[in-house]
């Protein structure tokens, strides 16, 4: 995106919120939020946005984009209050004049919370609507009246179709994380929502990445926009809010897919890392990684699309409060979330979309302190990593991974167990065979690794050796220490022989099958009349006689 400067003086570092035209009541709210100086993104965005122009902003994560659009929205809402009629409340439809669309529920909640803090001391009111939550309370909130509505496209569209929400008087629309809103299935919903708002509305697009297909859509939807690109060539920088922080950079480790979990455990446990976000490709893989971390006593929570809103909120709250050391998530948590507890981002899987890499690594260091990003590249990730390096201008040389062999899951040996046949107690050799399975060489070695020397375990996927058979109570001699009788076939040989040959080999005689009474009498009863009370089809066939 080409950069258009609206005013060169707006880059001055000493330009404060007052000089940018922010109302004094909002400046006081900013001070209560510990925000005293505008960021570069805010200094560049506020002037054209306050003028009412359409704006398209590309800025790194954590550079204050939320306040960059909330401040001009709030200033215009205060300046253009809806008309009041004495003795009557303001019509909720006329009161709603600003709309913010977000791609995820968590981001909608966060933006609404920031707006409510900014609106303190004013008559303005903000609220959030999103899916996977009860609809009735959100409808009631909209009916009571809002000046600013923050929501996900699906729930906003649902409220509009239910005639519970009107956008007829909306004058400002913001698309936060615009690239995701437009290229991940939200484009039809976004266009339908915008069609319900007046054509004269102001449109603001803000994102950390702007791919070419999305830029084409932006050109069609915005009218002579002010373009602001503050990323330039540093699209993959690990950036956060302008707070004191130590940037530990980005790292790349080549590892097989089956060893990724062990390496992740080593990075967290041996590296003594806390505040770690692990990004995976699918919801199922999120469960696998979380379980591997929990097996090693690492406090872990999970966030993905299949979890309820309550579960996702509780997981984020526990992670932010320090009650969990690791948050395993899909890309649903990669967009716009401000979690100060994040110090390290681990890309367990290279993202499918190159733009997601920027959003992932941008979660680190939002609250100051240290920030680092670690990517695990498996054989299947090579092509995706090349796309990330080419598109996002990432140049990272792979480095050796730290030791993680101690956290690998023990594999069971593949050598077959030994089968031994012994004669039964009191019988002659060959009259009866008792099969006993004992661990083979590889199985015994696996058992030694899993349970230690002299601690045989149970065979299975857990990596323990097979449990030796117990001798019968009171057994003596051969049965106490079973061995196969000379010439007796093995279990595998018996299986291959078939039932008849196995019986002959072991000296057993096939029992004569006693004919079933019903089968024996079926032929003689074929022409007999059906007894009274018996239903046809009960074993006796009705005849025509």
Same domain, 18 and 78: yes
Tally of domains within the chain: 3
- In-domain check, residue 413: no
Same domain, 189 and 150: yes
Instruction: Give yes or no for residue 48 having a pLDDT over 60.
Output: yes
Same domain, 377 and 399: yes
The pLDDT, as a whole number, for residue 499 is 60
- In-domain check, residue 251: yes
The pLDDT, as a whole number, for residue 105 is 86
Same domain, 134 and 257: no
Confidence of residue 178 (pLDDT cuts 50, 70, 90): confident
Instruction: Give yes or no for residue 95 having a pLDDT over 70.
Output: yes
Percent of the chain with pLDDT over 70: 67
Mean pLDDT in residue range 75-89: 82
- In-domain check, residue 518: no
Same domain, 157 and 291: no
Domain housing 358: 245-404
Give the best-scoring range by mean pLDDT among 392-396, 476-480, 492-496.
Answer: 392-396
Instruction: Give yes or no for residue 184 having a pLDDT over 80.
Output: no
For residues 128 and 249, what is the distance between their CA atoms, to the nearest angstrom?
35
Tens of pLDDT, residue by residue over 152-162, are 999 999 999 99
Higher pLDDT, 438 or 122: 122
The pLDDT, as a whole number, for residue 504 is 64
Of 482, 475, 468, 473, the C-alpha closest to 423 is: 482
The pLDDT, as a whole number, for residue 326 is 96
The pLDDT, as a whole number, for residue 503 is 61
Tens of pLDDT, residue by residue over 453-492, are 444 444 444 444 445 444 444 444 444 444 555 566 665 5
pTM: predicted TM-score of the whole model, two decimal places: 0.60
Confidence of residue 265 (pLDDT cuts 50, 70, 90): very high
- In-domain check, residue 92: yes
Instruction: Please give the DSSP secondary-structure letter assigned to residue 205.
Output: E
The vertex-91 CA angle with 89 and 95, nearest 5°, equals: 105
Tens of pLDDT, residue by residue over 522-535, are 455 555 666 666 66
Same domain, 139 and 164: yes
The pLDDT, as a whole number, for residue 417 is 38
Task: Look up residue 41 and give its two tokens.
Answer: 């993104």
Same domain, 396 and 423: no
- In-domain check, residue 109: yes
- In-domain check, residue 239: no
Asked whether 102 and 150 are in contact (CB, 8 A), the reply is yes
Same domain, 208 and 354: no
Same domain, 396 and 338: yes
For residues 274 and 327, what is the distance between their CA atoms, to the nearest angstrom?
10
Mean pLDDT in residue range 371-399: 91
Instruction: Give yes or no for residue 36 having a pLDDT over 60.
Output: yes
- In-domain check, residue 535: no
Higher pLDDT, 444 or 201: 201
Burial class (CB in 10 A: 0-12, 13-18, 19+), 286: buried
DSSP string, 426-466: TS-TTS-EEEEEE--HHHHHHHHHHH-TT-----STTSPPP
CATH number, domain with residue 65: 3.40.50.300
- In-domain check, residue 66: yes
Same domain, 148 and 195: yes
Mean pLDDT in residue range 499-524: 55
Q: Which of 357, 382, 404 is the last residue of a domain?
A: 404
Same domain, 281 and 223: no
Same domain, 352 and 423: no
């Amino acid at each position: 995106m080409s950069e258009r400067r609206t005013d060169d003086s707006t880059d001055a570092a000493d330009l404060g919120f007052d000089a940018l035209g922010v109302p004094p009541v909002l400046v006081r709210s900013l001070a209560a939020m510990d925000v005293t100086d505008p960021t570069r993104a805010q200094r560049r965005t506020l002037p054209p946005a306050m003028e009412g122009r359409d704006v398209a902003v590309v800025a790194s994560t954590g550079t204050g984009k939320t306040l960059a659009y909330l401040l001009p929205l709030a200033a215009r809402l205060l300046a253009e209050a809806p008309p009041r009629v004495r003795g009557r409340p303001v019509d909720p439809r006329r009161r709603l004049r600003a709309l913010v669309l977000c791609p995820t529920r968590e981001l909608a909640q966060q933006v609404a919370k920031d707006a409510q803090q900014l609106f303190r001391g004013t008559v303005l009111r903000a609220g959030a609507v999103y899916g996977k939550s009860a609809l009735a309370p959100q409808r009631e909130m909209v009916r009571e009246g809002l000046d600013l509505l923050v929501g996900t496209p699906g729930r906003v569209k649902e409220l509009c179709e239910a005639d519970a929400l009107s956008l007829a008087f909306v004058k400002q629309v913001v698309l936060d994380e615009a690239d995701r809103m437009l290229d991940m299935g939200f484009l039809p919903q976004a266009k339908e929502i915008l069609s319900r708002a007046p054509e004269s509305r102001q449109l603001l697009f803000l994102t950390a990445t702007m791919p070419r297909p999305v830029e084409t859509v932006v050109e069609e939807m915005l009218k002579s926009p002010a373009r602001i690109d503050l990323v330039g060539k540093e699209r993959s920088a690990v950036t956060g809010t302008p707070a004191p922080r130590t940037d530990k950079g980005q790292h790349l480790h080549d590892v097989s897919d089956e060893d990724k979990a062990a390496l992740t455990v080593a990075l967290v446990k041996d590296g003594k890392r806390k505040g770690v976000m692990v990004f995976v490709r699918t919801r199922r893989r999120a469960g696998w990684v979380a379980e591997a971390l929990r097996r090693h006593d690492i406090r872990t929570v999970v966030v993905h699309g299949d979890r309820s809103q309550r579960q996702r909120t509780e997981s984020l709250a526990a992670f932010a409060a320090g009650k969990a050391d690791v948050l395993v998530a899909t890309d649903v948590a990669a967009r716009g979330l401000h979690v100060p507890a994040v110090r390290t981002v681990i890309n367990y899987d290279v993202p499918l979309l190159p733009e997601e890499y920027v959003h992932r690594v941008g979660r680190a260091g939002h609250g100051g302190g240290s920030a680092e990003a670690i990517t695990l590249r498996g054989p299947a990730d090579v092509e995706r990593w090349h796309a990330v390096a080419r598109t996002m201008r990432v140049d990272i040389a792979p480095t050796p991974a730290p030791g993680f062999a101690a956290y690998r899951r023990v594999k069971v040996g593949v050598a077959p167990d030994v089968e031994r046949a012994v004669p039964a107690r009191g019988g002659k050799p060959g009259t009866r065979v008792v099969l006993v399975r004992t661990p083979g060489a590889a199985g015994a070695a696996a058992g030694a690794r899993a349970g230690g020397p002299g601690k045989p375990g149970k065979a299975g996927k857990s990596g323990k050796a097979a449990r030796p058979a117990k001798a019968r109570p009171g057994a003596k001699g051969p049965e106490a220490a079973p061995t196969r009788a000379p010439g007796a076939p093995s279990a595998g040989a018996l299986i291959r022989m078939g039932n008849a040959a196995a019986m002959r080999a072991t000296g057993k005689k096939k029992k004569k099958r006693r004919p079933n009474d019903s089968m024996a009498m079926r032929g003689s009863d074929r022409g007999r009349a059906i007894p009274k009370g018996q239903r046809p089809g009960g074993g006796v066939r009705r005849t025509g006689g």
